[in-house]
Chain A
Amino acid sequence: MNFVRFLLDHHRGNGDIFLAGVNERTTYRELFERVETLSRWMAREYGNGKELLLLADNGLFFITVYLAAMRSGNVPLLVETRIAKDELAKLMAGCRPVAAFMQRKLAEKAVPGLPLVTEEGLSTSAPGEDRRPETEDGDLAAVVFTSGSTGTKKGVMITHGNLIANTSSIIEYLGLTERDRIMAVLPFHYCYGASLLHTHLRVGGSMVVSHSIFLGGVLKEMDRFECTGLAGVPSTFQILINRTDFLQHRFTALRYMTQAGGKLEPRYIETIADAFPGVRFYVMYGATEATARMSYLPPEVLRTKMASIGKGIPGVQLEVLDDCGRPVAPGQTGEITARGSNIMKGYYRDEEGTRLVLRDGRYYTGDLATVDNDGYIYVVGRSKDIIKCAGYRVSPYEIENFVLSVEGVDSVAVVGVPDELLGEAIVAVVRRKAGADEGEVRESVLAAARKALPSFKSPKHLVFIDEMPLNSSDKVDKVRIREMLARGEVHG
């Protein structure tokens, strides 16, 4: 079945509000009509099975184009909006898009040679016959680009069946209904943000998109619009706790909160649970490769299974396997693997990468974990070198290459360290070239990074080291570097 028909067909005449909020409002009926019209137009204009780049912040433009592209049998390519113009052009050179749908304010990133459609260009009429094709569950619905450990973006191919399966199980375990209204602070081009859109559309709920300059602004907005849910990554909750009166705030309608996108330290989880005894707090775990969600910890066991990511969501078999592919015994460490209808079709034009992570019908996450006697899973580390800063996946390799290009830098290792606001902060550990001035190198690196990199990729700290510690295979020993940073043996 077509995923968008699964989301919208039963809302055809629904006059209820879907998108509430300060800037934009729309009812289900209006959204249905917009998507119908645009998808018919797209099918006539582009045919089907074509790739359409979508670059937009959260809002009606994103929602309409995204849904219409999938409804017309075409495939939206989702990319984070902070991508640099050159990087976007390079990424698109490896794809086959026939058009780019971009918000006017992002149009300066337009890809040369690719027809551009902005807000004003969206068709509001589509006369003539309906050329939209039937869609099967296995058909490609969207390609979501996410950062890989090498710094190159990987396109995750998600099918209509993947989206239907994951949306259904998230609705089931969160108990979402048409009375739910979510505060959306996470971007829709990110699988967690997209899952909010999907689930609330399906159940007939509603959402508020916040554009506040500071997260503290959402507290009042949640009361004003009577939000029942808040979804965040670790930094969302850390910023709210450390920089606002979140813990003292008495929400008027809040029923539940969800957290995914990396590990939130138990002390924060406990603080939240203590402050909001009547609000259900869900710790969850997921990946773009699994459409969005793989596990959740039921709020009932939040305190007794503290720091666990829980167990597989309905329809997902989550297992921790050892090197031989056998389930680990309690207390042993292995790799988290998942089976289910939500697992991606593969990486876009990357058969080798796909073979590495999709084996024997399982998705190998690259996350290392243990299991307790009751089957609850605890993440203990990552086998892939990735930093999660403010919920974004950042490749240390990419930042290392950038820092290396700055004058005076001989070698560099980039690692993530725990941070009170960002979840993980990026630290560049630099060995200077002989004779290079410490102050000058620091200033050049930080200034260059602020200028060229989006805020979540910029190193927060820069420290100098005389010799890089090496491991047995003569590679920079990042475990040792993290230890040295934690013990204060190197500092800026």
Chain B
Amino acid sequence: MNDDQVRTLRTIFCEELGIQDSELQDSTAYNQLESWDSLTHLKIVSRIEDAFSIEMEVDDIIGMETFAKAKETMAKYLG
């Protein structure tokens, strides 16, 4: 992922989770932040798919439980 793509990903996570950029860590995890619930997860996935024009596999959507995992997953799609 290039810097622009990481920035886009950070923006999506911060906006959907309602947090500041400084609060978003690699370790930020589903169920650790109350705002990151399954409904928000779905919104994040939809926005990622729109922003990067990709369609994510079910197993990847399930596996994206931390921000670090999200970056890893996206690297797979974006190269």
Contacts and interface: CB of A to CB of B under 8 A. Distances in A.
B39 A214 contact: no
B42 A214 contact: yes
B58 A216 contact: yes
A214 B38 contact: yes
Contacts of B30: 213
Nearest to B19: A451
A87 to B, nearest CB: 14
A303 interface: no
Interface stretch (A239-247, A260-268, A366-374): A239-247
Main secondary structure of the interface of A (DSSP, over half): loop
Interface band, chain A: 20 to 34
Contacts, number: 54
A450 B62 contact: no
A447 B18 contact: yes
B15 interface: yes
A217 B34 CA distance: 20
B7 interface: no
B18 to A, nearest CB: 4
Contacts of A231: none
Contacts of B42: 214, 239, 243, 421
B37 A212 contact: no
Interface in B17-71: 17-18, 30-31, 34-35, 37-43, 45, 58, 61-62, 64-65
A390 interface: yes
B60 to A, nearest CB: 10
A214 B41 contact: yes
Q: Which interface residue of B15, B41, B58 has the most chain A CB atoms within 10 A?
A: B58
B38 A450 contact: no
Contacts of B39: 390, 422, 455-456
A213 B58 contact: no
A217 B42 CA distance: 13
Contact of B41 (A213, A244, A447): A213
A139 to B, nearest CB: 35
A213 B40 contact: no
Interface band, chain B: 20 to 34
Interface in A165-203: none
A362 B8 CA distance: 55
B34 A82 contact: yes
Contacts of A213: 30-31, 38, 41, 61-62, 64-65
A375 to B, nearest CB: 37
A102 B73 CA distance: 35
Interface in A122-178: none
B37 to A, nearest CB: 6
Contacts of A217: 62
Contact of B62 (A82, A216, A422, A446): A216
Q: Which interface residue of B16, B38, B41, B61 has the most chain A CB atoms within 10 A?
A: B38
Interface string A454-478: 1110000000000000000000000
Kindly list the 9 A-B residue pairs having the minimum CB-CB distance in the complex, ordered from nearest.
A451-B18, A450-B18, A455-B39, A216-B58, A455-B40, A214-B61, A217-B62, A213-B30, A214-B62
Interface of B: 15-18, 30-31, 34-35, 37-43, 45, 58, 61-62, 64-65
Given A243-B61, A244-B58, 14 more contacts: A82-B34, A82-B37, A211-B31, A213-B38, A213-B41, A213-B65, A216-B62, A421-B42, A450-B18, A451-B18, A451-B35, A454-B35, A455-B35, A455-B43
24 contacts: A82-B37, A213-B30, A213-B31, A213-B38, A213-B65, A214-B41, A214-B45, A214-B62, A215-B38, A217-B62, A219-B58, A239-B42, A243-B58, A390-B39, A421-B42, A422-B39, A446-B15, A450-B15, A450-B17, A451-B18, A454-B35, A454-B37, A455-B35, A456-B39
